[in-house]
Amino acid sequence: MRVEDLRNYGKGLMDSIPDPKGVERWREMSKAMDEELRRELGPGGVESLKAETARWTNLMKGHDWSVLRERGLVDESFIDGIIQRIGVMRALADMVGMEKATEIQCKLLDMTMYDLMAPMWPSVEEYKACGDFFESFKQYFKASMAANVRAGLHEMEIVEDTASAIAFNIKYCAWHEVAKGFGDPYLCYPSTCYGDEVTISRVLSPVGYRFKRAGTLANGAPVCDFRYELFVGGDT
């Protein structure tokens, strides 16, 4: 098997083909998330959250998003999806405060993110079938990130690429720009960035690799400094 033959090879977040069973899986997870939110927000809380989210998203759809379009992101439905994601976090923070909203949102991603996203990507076994796991993973990853850059979602610089590690900096992120438009770059972290910690670690850790990131744009760092590396000893 060649890496180029793996599902969604060379496609980014905008053009990856979803898993055929993804819609049903999303319905099931939506129910679980709704139940969790009802526990956290109490009677009527979910309805209030939906109303506040709608208010924010309708407001921000009228915002000047030329900064996104200048980077090449011109798909209006995708921009609306980012606005919706950040809008939920903004509304939740307005209701319960940022600290509690972060706790809730991260818990929801823990519950759902990996199971929703993983079927879109190759499995560990499929990477191994292409030869060396990490070399196959890196080739696939670089092709996907190149697609995201072309789509205007990220600006990326690879700073290390060896047999045991790949490190790269994200210097621009569309989700971060939308969060800034909402008035708080941090909104990007619990709504979006935390999902990397949920998904990437679960892909890499079973085969002896780990995901590290010292900072994110959302938390005020100059870049999101991703690093995937072979782990030798110690605590992952």
Domain 3-230 bears CATH identifier 3.40.50: no
Q: How confident is the model over 163-180, as pLDDT tens digits?
A: 999 999 999 999 999 999
How far is Cα 91 from Cα 6, in angstroms, rounded to an integer? 39
Q: Which pLDDT score, from 0 to 100, does residue 235 have?
A: 43
Q: Which pLDDT score, from 0 to 100, does residue 226 have?
A: 96
Q: How confident is residue 231, by pLDDT bands cut at 50, 70 and 90?
A: confident
Q: Which pLDDT score, from 0 to 100, does residue 233 have?
A: 57
Q: How confident is the model over 17-53, as pLDDT tens digits?
A: 887 777 788 888 888 899 999 999 998 999 999 999 9
Q: Which pLDDT score, from 0 to 100, does residue 234 have?
A: 43
Q: How confident is residue 115, by pLDDT bands cut at 50, 70 and 90?
A: confident
The alpha carbons of the chain give a radius of gyration, in whole angstroms, of 18
Q: Which pLDDT score, from 0 to 100, does residue 236 have?
A: 39
The answer to whether 187 and 90 are in contact (CB under 8 A) is yes
Tell me what percent of the residues of the chain surpass a pLDDT of 70. 98
Residue 226 three-state SS? strand
Inter-axis angle of helices 174-181 and 76-96, nearest 10 = 50
* Most distant CA atoms of the chain, gap in Å: 53
Q: Give the pLDDT mean for 113-123.
A: 86
Domain extent listing, the chain: 3-230
The answer to whether 86 and 175 are in contact (CB under 8 A) is yes
How far is Cα 217 from Cα 223, in angstroms, rounded to an integer? 5
Q: Which amino acid is residue 125, in one-letter code?
A: E
Q: Residue 175: what are its φ and ψ, rounded to 5°?
A: -65, -40
Q: Residue 77: what are its φ and ψ, rounded to 5°?
A: -70, -35
Q: How confident is the model over 122-145, as pLDDT tens digits?
A: 999 999 999 999 999 999 999 999
Task: Give 35's Cβ-side CA count (13 Å radius).
Answer: 7
How far is Cα 205 from Cα 169, in angstroms, rounded to an integer? 21
Q: Which pLDDT score, from 0 to 100, does residue 27 have?
A: 83
Q: Give the pLDDT mean for 200-229.
A: 94
Q: Which two tokens stand for residue 228?
A: 């995937």
Q: Which pLDDT score, from 0 to 100, does residue 203 have?
A: 87
Ranking 57-66, 134-143, 153-162, 195-204 by mean pLDDT, the lowest is 195-204
Who contacts 185 (Cβ-Cβ below 8 Å, separation ≥6)? Answer: 176, 179, 217, 218, 220
